[in-house]
Structure formats: structure tokens, C-alpha cells
Amino acid sequence: MKRYNRPSILLRTQLEMFFTNNGTYFDPDDISACYILPDTTTTNGSPDLYINRTASDVGTSAYGKLNASGEALKVATFSGISSVSDYSPVLDPSSASAIYKVDTGQYSIIADGVAFPEYSSLGLSDGKYFDAWLVRDFESASYKLYWNKFTVYNDRVLTFTEPFQLTSKSKLAQRYVELSSIVTLRVTTDTFVANENMSRELKDMFRDSVLTNANIRIRKRNPYTSAEMTTIQDWTSDGVDISSEDTILYTWNTQSLEKGDYVVEVNYQALEQTFYSEEFSLVLR
């Protein structure tokens, strides 16, 4: 479960970080650590109280890092780069897991919910948190902190007095793509709860990033027949991602393809239902 999927304290939460340089994903020289710190009424959404701004430390390696308060209040420290395939749940309450490299420029930590709350290695409770990444971008650079936010919830259980009635509608953002391009196809998806007696607040809460298990298929129309199509990419979840707005993302490399009319389809799950989109026409020109 990702940070924008209303993560529960009872489940594992994936906190991702993406790095780019001049428009290209790249791997920093070193990701030394990732710290989890509480975002309380005192910090009020700003990590400034955790950052060393002491004038006498200006120009030293300590300036801009965690101050004494930050060191004392950090909930967990993740360190050491591992392959995401090496991930296993952390059951030892005295240690956190590693930082996992997912792909070039893409890293994640897993806040394990296996042990929440009795054995949690993170000690998280319902509330807001910062994840601060200690990074050296280039070999000659200094380490600095990159700050993000996330919230964990204990109210993910939603109840209603009748079955949830879902409707879902998708739309492909692109209509034309230039041949030999490498583009990220974007399929926006809106999911609605049609129950008339349900409150607007509950409907809005349910709509927060509800899609899971997205797949994509791409076929090419045969210009010499009216019905036959050639499968370019059969149904797959490899390389398919879902954004916080329930947009399905897939990077499509067209360098080995031909000009022509293509058909894009997606399917996905929501509330144990599987939805199939309509066939979207896309012209590779």
C-alpha cells in the first residue's frame, strides 16, 4: 500500500522516492538513510523544528541535517540499499528494513504493518509523519535531506447498510503519439459510489485511490481487414503503475513499431470487482 492509498497502521506501507536529473531518472551517488519522524501539532506540517539551523554550524556537514530534537524523536531509521526482491517482513522490533532499489531513480522503504501495533519496529500510530531521505546526489556533493509527508490511519474500515454500488469510467489521455517515441500512456479513471443514501463525506473517503491490480493490453488494427488485430502487448501488469489520482500509467516504447492505428485497453479492480475499459484508439504517426 502506497503513501497516498490511505495506509493503515495494520498494513505495510510503501514510501517511494524518485530522483531525476535534467529530465532523466538517475541514481544518486549515495542514499545514506531514511528517517521517520512524527508531524505533530508542534511541527504543524513543517520539518523546520527537526533541522539544524545553528549559525555556528553554517558551512559544516552538520548544518541542514537532523538536530538534537530530530535525532531524539525519529521513529525509525532505514539504511543500506538492497534489491526490492530481497524484501521480507521485519518482525524484530529493534530494527527497520533496508532502502530498496526498485528501478533506476526509484527507491522505496517498507513501513511494515505485520507487527502493528504490538510489535511494530516503527512504533507508528494513527497520525501524520515525515520521511526524510539523507542523500548525496553526486560524489563531489554534500549530503542533504529531502523531506516528504505521509499519514497512517486506523479508520480504513468503512461501513454502510447496503452493498456498495460502484461505477467506473476511464479515458486515455493521448490520442496521437509520434513514431519512435517512448511515452507514458495515461488512463485517467473515475470511480463513483452510486448509493443514494450514502453521505458525500463517505463517498469522497471511499474514492481515495481505490484502484488495484491494473493491467494493460495494446493491439494494432490490421489495415487490410475490418476485424483482425495484432497483439503488440498482451495483458500485463509489468511496468503498470497507479497514481494517487487513480491514473493508470504505462511507459510505451514505440521504437520497434510501425505507424498505424492501435487499440489500448486496461482492466483493474475496485472493491473486489474487475472493470474493463472500452477500447481506446491511438494513432502512431
Domain end among 152, 181, 216 = 152
* CATH number of the domain to which 212 belongs: 2.60.40.10
Q: Both 140 and 42 in a single domain? A: yes
Domain boundary among 127, 152, 177: 152
- 213 and 115 both lie in a single domain: no
DSSP state of 56: G
Measure the CA–CA gap between 285 and 191, rounded to whole angstroms: 32
Each residue's pLDDT tens digit, 154-179: 656 667 777 878 888 999 999 999 99
C-alpha cell at 217: 493490453
pLDDT digits (tens, 9 = 90+) for 48-89: 999 999 999 898 989 999 999 999 988 888 888 876 565 555
The H or E element spanning position 204 is helix 200-206
**What's residue 271's pLDDT?**
78
Question: Which of 125, 152, 179 delimits the end of a domain?
Answer: 152
In a domain, 8, yes or no: no
Question: What proportion of the chain, given as a percentage, has pLDDT over 90?
Answer: 48
Instruction: Tell me which residue range forms the domain holding 20.
Output: 13-152
49 three-state secondary structure: helix
Query: What is the number of alpha carbons within 13 Å of residue 4 lying toward its C-beta?
Result: 15
Q: Are residues 145 and 171 in the same domain?
A: no
Report, in this order, helix, strand and coil percent for the chain, each rounded to 5: 10, 45, 45
User: How crowded is residue 70: how many other Cβ atoms within 10 Å of its Cβ?
Assistant: 19
Q: Are residues 175 and 266 in the same domain?
A: yes
**Tens digits of per-residue pLDDT, 216-240?**
999 999 877 666 899 999 999 998 9
Report whether 36 contacts 127 (CB < 8 A). Answer: no
Residue 29, domain member (yes or no): yes
Domain count, the chain: 2
Percent of the chain with pLDDT over 70: 82
Say yes or no: 189 and 95 in one domain.
Answer: no
Long-range contacts, 39-45 (Cβ 8 Å, 24+)? 39/127, 39/128, 39/129, 39/130, 39/149, 40/127, 40/128, 43/130, 45/128, 45/149
Q: Is residue 83 part of a domain?
A: yes
CB count within 10 Å of CB 71 equals: 14
Higher local confidence (pLDDT), 136 or 3: 136
Q: pTM of the predicted model, to two decimals?
A: 0.65
